[in-house]
Structures are given as structure tokens and as C-alpha cells.
Amino acid sequence: MATPVTRDQFVVAPEGITHIPTGAAFSPHPGSPLSGNLHLGQLGNRLPNGDDHRPDEVRAMMQQLWAEYVETNPTAFERS
């Protein structure tokens, strides 16, 4: 059975977003918050503690939380 994906499993900052249990992370390119690099970490693997997060659910929540962060912090991505 899949482990539920919840908002509190993520850390969101100007440097990107990380799903703590799997280590899956998105890092935006400087000045371009909607493009960047995705590191999958252990996403798609059963974790040593038995948790099994569905990759599609992690990615969907990651995209939602990142979009919310970018919308509420537009100046965080301005290049000087």
C-alpha cells in the first residue's frame, strides 16, 4: 500500500523544494523559477522504513507547493 504524501513532508525555499522522505528535489535555474533540475533521490523505491511514496503523487504535490511558493514570493527570483 502506498504511503500518503502530505504537505509537511516538503521543505520549500528559494533554492528549491525537497521531499524529505525520499530526497526528491527540484532546484530552479537562477532567475527562472519554473525551469531547473529534478533530482529523484529515492523516489520510486521502497524506503528502508517500509514507506512507499507514489512518484506521481510526490511530483504533483511538489509542483503544487512550488507553484504556490513562486506565486507568493515573486521577488525571490529576480536577478540583480
Domain regions of the chain by residue span: 7-73
Residue 18 near residue 25 (C-beta atoms within 8 A): yes
Per-residue pLDDT of the chain (80 residues; tens, 9 = 90+): 899 999 999 999 999 999 999 999 999 998 889 899 999 999 999 999 999 999 999 999 999 999 999 999 988 887 76
Helix, coil or strand: residue 3: strand
